[in-house]
Amino acid sequence: MHDRPIPSLRLDGKRAIVTGGASGIGATTARLMADLGARVVVADIAPVDPEALAALGAVAAVTGDVADEAAVDRMVAEAEAHLGGLDLVFNSAGIGDDLVPVHEQEVARWQRVVDVNLRGTYLVCRAAGRSMLRQGKGAIVNVSSIVGLGAFPGRSGYGIAKAGVIHLTRTLACEWGTAGIRVNCIAPAYTRTPMVRALLERNVFDPTAIERRTPLGRFAEPEEMARAAAFLLSDWASYVTGTVLPVDGGWSAYGAAGPVDKSIPGSD
Ligand SMILES: NC(=O)c1ccc[n+]([C@@H]2O[C@H](COP(=O)([O-])OP(=O)(O)OC[C@H]3O[C@@H](n4cnc5c(N)ncnc54)[C@H](O)[C@@H]3O)[C@@H](O)[C@H]2O)c1
């Protein structure tokens, strides 16, 4: 028996906005947050119809481009109006890149990848943070990537943006900590979402090579990202801020040459 109350992993009554909530990791996290008791508004560039909204367990959807300052300020204000305030943010809106080396890249495409993934995260944090600062509490989880932890050839725009998301997270944690706002990020590895499925269909990645490079030996499921995000958003993480949590099956821990050694006894 415990002689003191254990904080809850639940998010009962918390008012939340989830960007990129129409698909993939964002949609799965919105659903989990709603299941944990949060009232969720999804924000996405893609419209979310009422049926999809109900499937997410969300109370409303707002539509716009996270790279557009005015659109972000409007979406956050609309979410606040639906919810009566804002306690939680999960920043999942993002786009992939074209796997082209720097000397062959078009600056406009590079810029768009940086703008959606980094500027978008910055703008949503900024708008939501202003609201959270007024009430003196809140928690934000941003989405970086293993591509933000180590360099991947051909992915300079995405990698720079995702590395920037880590630094943005740390900076905001330091700026807003005394105001009661925690800011963390997760760094997912390859996760079976529509974004990754589209890349696999175009043969952009070799799934076997990825699985062999991953200590846990498989891709992640979106639910595994959602659970890590929910932990960081919950009171269980009440003393966690400014961190980057790799949710990567051991990808970033692995430093040896070649694939993971399957000859270790018991590993077959
Ligand atoms: N899937 C992976 O393997 C993986 C790995 C590491 C990081 N991530 C990151 O996780 C996040 C979610 O990725 P996913 O795999 O779920 O992708 P996804 O394509 O399934 O979902 C991304 C969502 O973001 C929305 N979006 C895109 N551009 C937007 C914009 N400008 N404004 C508003 N919304 C926008 C899309 O409409 C979509 O609903 C992204 O930030 C991605 O970079 C994914």
Which residue from 137, 138, 140 is spatially nearest to 123, judged by alpha carbons?
A: 140
Closest approach atom of ligand 1 to CA 144: 7
Residues 233/245, Cβ–Cβ less than 8 Å: no
- pLDDT tens for residues 105-118? 999 999 999 999 99
Q: For residue 93, tell me if it sits in a domain.
A: yes
Q: Which residue's CA lies nearest to atom 17 of ligand 1?
A: 195
In angstroms, the CA 121 to CA 237 distance is: 21
256 occurs within a structural domain: no
Evaluate whether residue 33 is within a structural domain. yes
Grouping H, G, I as helix, E, B as strand and the rest as coil, residue 206 is: coil
Whether 37 and 109 have beta carbons less than 8 Å apart is answered as: no
Q: Which of 28, 45, 91, 210 to mutate to test the pocket of ligand 1 (most atoms within 8 A of CB)?
A: 45
Would you say residue 173 lies in a domain?
Answer: yes
pLDDT at site 260: 93
Distances (CA, A) of 118 to 65, 85, 98: 13, 24, 17
In the chain, what percentage of residues exceed pLDDT 90?
A: 89
The CATH number linked to 189 is: 3.40.50.720
Residue 183 counted as domain residue: yes
Q: Is residue 10 part of a domain?
A: no
Give the mean pLDDT of 122-151: 98
Q: Is the pLDDT of residue 265 over 80?
A: no
Supply the residues annotated as catalytic: 158
Q: How far apart are CA 66 and CA 70, in angstroms?
A: 9
168 lies in some domain: yes
DSSP helix/strand/coil, 17: strand
Total domain count for the chain?
A: 1
Which tokens belong to 131? Answer: 């609201």
* 100 CB neighbour count, 10 Å cutoff: 16
Residue 263 placed within a domain: no
| 159: its two tokens | 């990698």
Determine the structural domain holding residue 216 and report its residue range.
15-251
Share the mean pLDDT of the chain.
Answer: 95
Confidence label for 205 from pLDDT (cuts 50, 70 and 90) = confident
Model confidence at 202: pLDDT above 90? no
Residue 1 is predicted with a pLDDT of: 61
pTM of the predicted model over 0.95: yes
Q: Are strands 138-143 and 15-19 parallel, antiparallel or unpaired?
A: unpaired
Tell me the helices (H) and strands (E) count for the chain, helix number first.
Answer: 9, 7
- Write the pLDDT tens digit of every residue in 168-190: 999 999 999 999 999 999 999 99
